[in-house]
Every structure is written in C-alpha cells, then in structure tokens.
Structure 1
Amino acid sequence: MSKIHGTVSEGFEEVRAEFAAVADGEAGLGAQLAVCLNGRRVVDLWTGDGVSGDSLHALYSSAKGAAHLVAALLVQDGTLKLEAAVASYWPEFAAEGKGELTLRVLLAHRAGLIGVEGGFTAAELADDRLLAARLAGQRPYWQPGSGYGYHAFVIGALIGEVVRRATGQSLQQVYDERVRAPYGLDFYLGLPEALEPRYVEVQPLRPDERAMAEAHAPAPDSLMGIAFNLNATPPTDLAAFANTRTVRALGPASSGSVGNARGLAGMYAAAISEIDGRPPLLEPGTLAEFTRPHSTGPDLVTGERDHFLLGFEAQAVRYPELGADAFGHSGAVGAQSFADPRSGIAYAYTRRRFSFGGGGGAPENRRLVASVVRAANRA
C-alpha cells in the first residue's frame, strides 16, 4: 500500500481514503491534494517518493487560472473594460482585421489566435512578450466571435500584453503583488531561483502510455496541432518544456506556473472566501460576470463541450456535483484546481508524472472531487 502523508479535518476522512485508493491504483504516483472550505484548509495530503507537501510541481495551464483572476481584478477596479477593443490598449493588435475585437471576446477564447504558421520557438513559448509580439500581426484561424477554441499556449500572453499596456506592469507582477504575496501562496508565475531546490522534475508518460498517446496525436496542421504547437519543428515536448529553468523563471501565463496544491487551493480560496479578515478577492458582481457561460457547443480545438465561462474552465461540466458557477483550470500533467462558490470549496490536485488521458485534469479527479463534495456537504 502507498504511504499517505498529511492531515484531514474531522469529517474528511473519506477524502484521505479515496486519495490512498488513487495512490494504490498507480504505482509510483507522486501527488498532492489540498482543499479549503470557506477559507479554511481541511485537506492537506501527499504521496510518492521525493514528494512532500512543500514540493513545487510544474502546473502548466493552472497558470491560466491566475491570469484570468488578474483580469477579473482589473475589470473589477475599472482598469480594464470588457467591451473595449483590445487594440485600444495595444494598437499593434489591430493588424489583420482585429481592430474591433473586444477584451471579452479575447478572454472567452473566441479570438481565433491559437498559434502561428510553423509554430513557436522554445524561446518564444517561454516569454510572453515574445509570444505577444508574434501574435499581434497574426490573422485569426476563424472569424473572431464566431466560435471558440482553447488558446492553449497563448491566452496568458495575449491577456498579459493588455495588462502591461494598461498598467505598466506585467501580468506576473500584478499577480504577485495583488494575489500571491499578500496570501503567502506557494503558486508562482515566475519561480524565484532560491526556491529551485523545492522543484521536483516532471516525469513523462510511461513508454506504453506514450506510444498510445502518439498513436492518437492530432495532425500538426489541425487546429489542435496548431494550438499545442505541434506544427513547430520539433514539436513541443511538454516535460522538457517545464523542466527548463528559463520557463520556470519567466512563468509564461498560459503554461509556466509552478507550485503546490496548498498554494493553488489557497488562490481559489482567496478568490471566493474571507481569509484572515480579508474579504474575498472577487466581489459578487465580478464573480457573476466571470462565471457566466460565454460559449456553448464544442470547442473548435479540443472538442470539449461547453468548455469555458469567461476565461476560466467550466467545472460543473466535468464534475456535476459542483455548482454551475464553479470555475478553475486544469494543467497538462493532470493537475486540477477550482473554486465552487456554492459550497465554498477550493480544490487543488497536483501530479508529478503525466497522466494518460489527463486533458482537463487526470481521471482520478472525478472520484476525488466527488469525495470532497460529499464530505463538505456533511460538514
């Protein structure tokens, strides 16, 4: 049996048992699970060789949750306007007929700017400023607003350039000053070098799983291939990408987050709950706006149905136990994180090794989330 470390509050013993069952079902699993309820941490668990509660993992697109939280805060304080043209902040963006494209359309993954011909270089993927410069002149892959599709490697850079033009600071700086530092969160968009000893390298899929994944890989020139930079030469290797110090140092806001489950759950708890006398980061009106569905039907890139709220991934589609306004974001390695305003749950699960079929969070999240909701309902 796998050794499980950490604690759960009274009434959440079922969650520990479910986490242990997940660990027993996958040999060598390195993972963390943290849950807050109404701002109080009630689950703090980890398992696996080389993994502790303090270990920092590559969390990939979990970064998008932080990016959209920053956008929501700037909309909330009036710095950004959802109906304003992106080009009103960023004039170069008007190229190729994008002059009327609004911030709302951009945030909702409806802009069609999923990549570029020939793909991005590794240096561009690591640096949001370089990504934004390439994308400013890019023609959309579909008519903006006519459909939606996951902007996998680029949405954080696009939002980030708007933030930089509007505030004079990078998105990463705004996140650090307004969210991470005040709450002492171990979730970073730009990992300080001093914390590198706590980083545990990503482990790729097992060889048998990798062969299956390669057999089902999308064509490089498909919308999914373009969005995931498979049209580059060579195609992006996600494990190697995250295990590069430059990526961790720069913290690209689509794909380069680093942290642990405690930090990630803490971010979502801060968004919806009072913590240490601080009011929730998101006011009710902002929360309602950003947790309202903005697209229905299939995602043009991933095929997932009803994928997004305003920027954040819709969670009730994946986990029907949650409220319709549950919002968050998964990460490529199989990580999952969200806030459920209805129940007060803030949830985060991290993995060290890639999960086969982990798009949208590793499959074990379904059983873990269900156990968390049952326990929270009894609390």
Structure 2
Amino acid sequence: MTEHDVQGHGVQGHGVQGTVADGFEPVREEFAAILAAEGADLDAQVAAYHHGELVVDLWAGAETTSDSLLGTYSASKGVAHLIVARLVQDGVLDLDQRVSHYWPEFGVRGKREIRLRELLSHQAGLAGADAGFSMEELADDRVVAERLGAQRPFWRPATASGYHALVIAALSGEVMRRVTGETVQSLFASLLRDPYKLDLHLGLPADQENRFLPAQPMVATPERLRDLAAAATAPDSLSGIAFNRHHPRNHEVWELPNLPVVRTKGPASFGGIGTARGLAKLYSAAISPTDGAAPLLTPDTAAAFAQIQSAGWDLVLRQHKSWAVGFHAAAELYPVLGQGAFGHSGAGGQQALADPRNGLSYAFLRRRFLPPPQADADHSRILRALRTSATA
C-alpha cells in the first residue's frame, strides 16, 4: 500500500486522508467526490480488503482519524449473525430446527413451529414489544429476548417479513446463549474480535471511550424534512412499534450510540462501536485468509447465509426488501456486486459487506446521520469503483 497526498480534495479544509493500494485510486476519488458534494464538513471512514489484503483505508473530517470509533448502528446485526453462521457450520445450530427446540419458553402463543432460518430472515412477527421498551431495557439483550419470547407475533410467522430493527440480534443471541451458555457479546470477543484482532466492540471498554466520536443529527434541509414527513408512520403502527416510537421515553435512532448504556452493554442489534477498518477486516476474515488466519466460514456456509429467504413487501420498512439468513442480500441493492454478496447496513449511512465471488469486503462509517436512500447512492459509487479496481 502506498501513501497518496489527497488534501486538495478537502471539504472546508478537511480532506481525504489515508492510503490505497496501487490500482485502487478510483475509490479514493469517489470518496473525495462524495465529501465535496456533501456541502458540509463530514467525519467518515471507508475501508476495503481484497483477497485478505487491506487495499483501502481512508478517512476524512475535522475530528476523525483512522482509529476513531464510530457507532455501527444495525451493521452490528451482521457481526452477531456471523457468529450464528459459524455455529451452524460447526454443527451447534441447525437453520431448519425450531427455535423452541433450543429455547423452550419461546414456543408459546403461536411460535412453536418457527424455524431458526425464519427468525433470522425477519419472518417471526416479533418486530417489537406491545408496550415498547425503556432505553435501559432495549439495551439489555436478555430483557428484550425474555419479553418477546413470551409475546404473540404481529403476523402469522413465515407468511411475511418485517424488519426486526432493534431486536433481531437479541432473539438470535438468546438462541446462541441457550446452546453455548455464552452471551453474543462474549462469543463475539472469543470467536471474532480477539482471534482476528478487530477494532470493533459489542460493549465498549471504559479505557476506549476517549476514541469514540459521538454521532451527529442530519442537516435538516427542507427537502429532507419533507421526505421524512412523507415517510412517517404512526407511533403505534407496526413500523412505529418496530422502532420503539410508541414508548414515551424512546430516543431518536441517530442518538443511540451516544447513550452510555448502549455503548456499555453493546446490544447486538444496534450497539456496535468500531472503525470501518475493523468492520471490513471482519467481513474479509469471514470469506478469505486474513492476517495469516483461515477464513471464518467455508464457501458453502457463506453461500447458505447469503441465500435469499424472502423477497417482497416488508411490513415494517414498507418497501420491497430481500432478506438473506441474518443479512441483506447485498447484490439486490448494489447490482455491481457478485451474486451471493452479503452484509448489513446501519441507520444513517453505515454499511459493511462481503462479496465472496470477487474476494472483496467493504465498510463505510460516518458520523453525521443521513436518510438511507442518499447513503445507498454513495455506497453504489464507491462499490463500483472498488469492483472495477479489483477486477482491472
């Protein structure tokens, strides 16, 4: 990897910094163009691996460095579900087994026949709690799992999908706890973070707090406010319940990483803290030999978890959505990627994924919250440049 002076592409005096491998300069150029188009100072990181080698490690902003820690939001779900994938690969879990086989208390009020693959693909009908959660409850995966395990689904399981936005990894984490005796946070540390030396956390240690950059709300332009108003649903609608908006002490999604209880407990659905480099390395390690370590997953396991389980109208997001097993089917959103690409986005513009066919992994973390459609356009630009560079 070679250093490139790119300060001339700065935004308000804060330009792109970092390194790209020879041939990957188009990625840096697209990142710089996105910063220039933003129209305001932006703190962000982008990283990518190709066949296990770090080829992009860039950042920008007044306060951001390569080692700054940012909230990953729902990209945390992908972290948790890589652990599920490894447990399935090792024969500890079976995607076609009933959830109630592992977690007997779950099999009540119409949930006895829900299969693990149906739960992981957001088909269980448990998108939120009837009465909602306080933030202290929502940050505790055990509390969330206990409440939802006793609840009746909002729709007949396996007949439709709806994004379990704030709770899915609490549910899958409880399945993992029942078979291993360990929390998802503990499994993450022992199976992923420590072996692969990842700068990534589900539960941020106190001695790392000084590296954390608080998230910032989006710039409320009239156009964005109109878009948000048009998309708004009632707090007690299914979408409102899934995002906990019906609870009187709910917080805005953008605030979640800024809450000490979220950073400390590291709820696996939305509480991850880390660097883009750490996330990209994780997805690289999932599919490729990385830093001398064997891949976390075999090609067959990666393909099984990338396989689309449901495609159609998402009852929570109120849009067409394709769900793989615990992940987004990334090539459906970014057609430049190879079939079988998988990963998970995060609210406000975060993204992390792997493209096994092309040996690529990618992560983008930003500090200022954005409406997701705008973020998708940014990722499309960078991913096209990344794919082109990798296959040149």
Q: TM-score, normalised by structure 2?
A: 0.93
Map of 1:85 onto structure 2:
98
Between the aligned residues of both structures, percent identity stands at 48
Please state if 1:350 is matched with 2:365. Answer: yes
Task: List per-residue Cα deviations over 1:131-171 (Å, max 9, x = no partner).
Answer: 11110111101100011111100100000111111100001
Please state if 1:294 is matched with 2:306. Answer: no
Map of 2:166 onto structure 1:
153
Maintained 8 Å contact 1:34/1:45: yes
User: Which of 340, 344, 352 pairs up with 1:325?
Assistant: 340
User: Which of 309, 320, 336 pairs up with 1:305?
Assistant: 320
Q: What is the CA–CA distance in structure 2 between the aligned matches of 1:221 and 1:231, rounded to whole Å?
A: 5
For structure 2, the 5+ residue unaligned runs are 1-9
Maintained 8 Å contact 2:80/2:169: yes
Decide which moves more: 331-340 or 304-313: 304-313
Maintained 8 Å contact 1:335/1:362: no
Map of 1:22 onto structure 2:
34
Q: What is the CA–CA distance in structure 1 between the aligned matches of 2:256 and 2:307, rounded to whole Å?
A: 33
Aligned ranges for residues 195-234 of structure 1 at < 5 Å? 195-208=208-221, 211-212=225-226, 214-216=228-230, 217-234=232-249
SS of 1:297's equivalent?
A: strand
Please state if 1:7 is matched with 2:32. Answer: no
Task: List per-residue Cα deviations over 1:249-281 (Å, max 9, x = no partner).
Answer: 111010101111100000000000012332211
Maintained 8 Å contact 1:205/1:354: yes
Task: List per-residue Cα deviations over 1:38-74 (Å, max 9, x = no partner).
Answer: 0100000000011011000011101100111010001
Maintained 8 Å contact 2:287/2:299: no
Task: List per-residue Cα deviations over 1:213-255 (Å, max 9, x = no partner).
Answer: 5523222122221111112114431233220111111110101
Maintained 8 Å contact 1:319/1:366: yes
For structure 1, the 5+ residue unaligned runs are none
Q: CA RMSD in A?
A: 1.5
Task: List per-residue Cα deviations over 1:108-136 (Å, max 9, x = no partner).
Answer: 11101001123211111111011111101
Map of 2:295 onto structure 1:
280
Aligned ranges for residues 40-189 of structure 1 at < 5 Å? 40-189=53-202
Regions of 4+ moved over 4 Å:
359-362
Please state if 1:238 is matched with 2:249. Answer: no
Maintained 8 Å contact 2:134/2:250: no
Q: TM-score, normalised by structure 1?
A: 0.96
Map of 2:286 onto structure 1:
271
Return closer, same or farther for 1:178/1:361 CA change in 2, 3 Å cut-off.
farther
Deviation at 1:362, TM superposition (A): 4.5
Amino acid at match of 2:51: N
